[in-house]
C-alpha cells in the first residue's frame, strides 16, 4: 500500500509519498490518471478518459499513463538502504580536540579527531564555545571522527552516520540538528521543518528571507540588524511543530570575502574573525550581536520573502504563487518525513503571504520589511 499526502494548491496537486520521502507537483489530469491506475482501472479506459475528459492526444495520453506506471513501479519497489551501524572506535591514544558549546542554559561537548574537522565546524560556533573543564556537566557529547577518508558522527556514544568529504554538507546539517535538539531539549519529531534561509524579527513577529546562494539573504539580515531588527537565525532556520513558530539558532553569519570589505565599515568586529579553510572559500563569520542573553526565542512568521539583489534591477515587491514558492522550497527544505508533519507543513506554507522583492538599495528593502511588519503591503 502506498502511503501519501495530497493537497490541492491553486490548479495543481502536491503529492508526498511516505516510503520514498518524495514530493511531486503535478497537474490534475496526471493525479486523476495515476490514482485510477493504482486502483486497478484498465489502460484502455484510462486512454479514453485522457482523450474525452482532458482533451489529450493519443500520444499525450500514452505518455501520461506510461509515466504513471513508471512512478507506481518505483514507489512499490523502493526499499530503504540502511546505513552500516558499525560505530567507529578511535584508537585509545587518540588526542581529542574538545570544546564546550553553551546556549539556552544547555552545554554540549563536541570532540574532533583532527584539526581539519575542527576548522570545518568550530568557527561557526566559536562565540558560544569555551574550553572543556573536568567539572563541566554536559547535556550531550558529540564526536566528529575522520576514519578511512570518511567522517563519522557519534552522539552520546550512538552512531549517527558517516559521509565522505564530498558529502560533508549532510554531516553539517545533521550536526546542526543535534545541536538544535540539545539546546532546546527536543528531538527531530518536534520540528516541522528547517529552512535554508535567514530570519529577522521585531517584537513577536519574524520574516524569513529565501533565495538562491548568493542572492543576499545573509546581507539583508545583517543590514536589517543595524536598522532595528534582530536576527533569529541564518542559513539554518527551524520551525517548531507546536507551536508553529520560527526558532532561534546560534550559528554565526557566514560572510563571503567578496562582500567582506563592504560590511567591515558596519561591523569592525569582522576583522580577524575565524575562517573555515576546508573548502578554500575564504568564509568569514560574523557573530550575531543578539545572542547576548544566550537564550532560545521563537516568533510567529509574518511572511516568506524571496529576495533578489541587483544593481541593475528595478525596486519592486510582489506576491508570488504558492506553487512557485513550493517548487523552490521543497528541494531546499528539510521537512520531518511523516504524513502528519508534511500535511501541517503544506498548510502552514499556504497560510503565509509569500513575496518576492527585487531591490537595488538597502533602503528600499528596509521599507518593504517595515511595511510587511505593519500590514501595509
pLDDT in tens, 320-351: 999 999 999 999 999 999 999 999 999 999 99
Locus of grid cell 511595511: 371
β-pairing, 205-210 with 106-112?
unpaired
Per-residue pLDDT, 82? 43
The model's pLDDT over 177-236, given as tens digits with 9 standing for 90+, comes to 999 999 999 999 999 999 999 999 999 999 999 988 777 888 888 889 888 899 999 999
92 has pLDDT over 50:
no
What average pLDDT does the segment 287-303 reach?
Answer: 78
Show the CA angle centred on residue 264, arms to residues 258 and 268, nearest 5°.
150
Query: Distance between CA atoms of 193 and 241, rounded to whole angstroms?
Result: 8
Query: Distance between CA atoms of 57 and 63, rounded to whole angstroms?
Result: 10
Pick from 112, 92, 101: nearest CA to 136: 101
Per-residue pLDDT, 80? 43
What average pLDDT does the segment 154-183 reach?
Answer: 95
Pick from 166, 153, 141: nearest CA to 88: 153
The counts of H helices and E strands in the chain are 10, 22
Per-residue pLDDT, 75? 82
pLDDT confidence bin for 14, thresholds 50/70/90: very high
What average pLDDT does the segment 65-70 reach?
Answer: 92
Write phi, then psi, for 115 (nearest 5 degrees). -65, -35
CB atoms within 10 A of CB 349: 22
Pick from 297, 146, 304, 321: nearest CA to 233: 297
What average pLDDT does the segment 144-165 reach?
Answer: 94
> Is the pTM of the predicted complex or chain greater than 0.75?
yes
pLDDT exceeding 70 applies to what percent of the chain? 89
Joined together, the cell numbers standing for residue 19 give 516510503
The model's pLDDT over 247-268, given as tens digits with 9 standing for 90+, comes to 999 998 888 777 777 777 777 7
The model's pLDDT over 96-140, given as tens digits with 9 standing for 90+, comes to 999 999 999 999 999 999 999 999 999 999 989 999 987 778 999
292 has pLDDT over 80:
no
Average pLDDT, the chain: 87
Per-residue pLDDT, 275? 57
29 has pLDDT over 50:
yes
pLDDT exceeding 90 applies to what percent of the chain? 66
242 has pLDDT over 50:
yes
User: How many CA atoms lie less than 13 Å away from 50 in the CB half-sphere?
Assistant: 26
Amino acid at each position: 500500500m502506498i502511503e501519501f499526502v495530497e493537497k490541492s494548491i491553486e490548479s495543481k496537486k502536491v503529492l508526498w509519498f511516505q516510503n520514498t520521502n518524495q514530493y511531486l507537483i503535478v497537474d490534475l489530469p496526471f493525479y486523476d490518471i495515476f490514482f485510477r491506475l493504482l486502483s486497478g482501472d484498465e489502460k484502455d479506459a484510462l486512454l479514453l478518459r485522457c482523450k474525452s475528459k482532458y482533451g489529450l492526444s493519443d500520444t499525450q495520453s500514452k505518455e501520461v499513463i506510461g509515466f504513471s506506471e513508471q512512478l507506481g513501479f518505483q514507489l512499490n519497489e523502493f526499499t530503504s538502504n540502511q546505513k552500516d551501524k558499525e560505530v567507529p572506535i578511535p584508537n585509545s591514544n587518540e588526542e581529542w580536540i574538545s570544546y564546550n558549546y553553551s546556549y539556552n542554559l544547555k552545554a554540549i561537548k563536541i570532540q574532533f579527531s583532527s584539526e581539519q574537522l575542527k576548522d570545518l565546524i568550530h568557527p561557526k560556533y566559536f562565540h558560544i564555545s569555551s574550553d572543556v573543564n573536568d567539572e563541566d556537566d554536559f547535556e550531550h557529547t558529540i564526536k566528529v571522527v575522520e576514519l578511512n577518508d570518511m567522517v563519522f558522527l557519534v552522539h552520546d556514544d550512538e552512531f549517527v552516520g558517516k559521509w565522505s568529504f564530498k558529502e560533508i554538507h549532510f554531516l553539517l546539517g545533521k550536526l546542526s540538528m543535534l545541536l538544535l535538539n540539545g539546546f532546546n531539549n527536543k528531538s527531530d519529531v518536534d520540528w516541522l521543518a528547517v529552512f535554508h534561509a535567514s530570519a529577522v524579527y521585531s517584537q513577536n513577529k519574524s520574516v524569513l528571507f529565501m533565495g538562491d546562494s548568493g542572492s543576499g539573504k545573509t546581507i539583508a539580515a545583517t543590514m536589517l540588524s543595524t536598522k532595528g531588527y534582530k536576527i533569529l537565525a541564518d542559513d539554518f532556520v527551524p520551525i517548531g511543530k507546536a507551536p508553529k513558530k520560527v526558532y532561534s539558532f546560534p550559528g554565526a553569519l557566514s560572510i563571503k570575502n567578496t562582500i567582506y570589505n563592504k560590511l567591515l565599515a558596519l561591523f569592525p568586529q569582522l576583522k580577524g574573525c575565524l575562517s573555515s579553510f576546508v573548502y578554500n572559500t575564504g568564509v568569514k563569520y560574523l557573530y550575531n550581536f543578539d545572542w547576548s542573553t544566550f537564550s532560545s526565542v521563537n516568533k510567529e512568521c509574518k511572511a516568506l520573502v524571496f529576495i533578489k539583489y541587483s544593481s541593475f534591477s528595478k525596486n519592486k515587491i510582489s506576491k508570488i504563487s504558492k506553487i512557485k514558492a513550493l517548487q523552490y522550497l521543497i528541494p531546499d527544505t528539510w521537512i520531518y518525513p511523516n504524513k502528519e508533519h508534511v500535511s501541517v507543513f503544506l498548510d502552514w506554507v499556504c497560510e503565509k503571504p509569500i513575496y518576492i522583492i527585487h531591490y537595488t538599495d538597502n533602503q528600499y528593502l528596509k521599507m518593504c520589511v517595515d511595511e510587511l511588519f505593519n500590514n501595509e503591503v
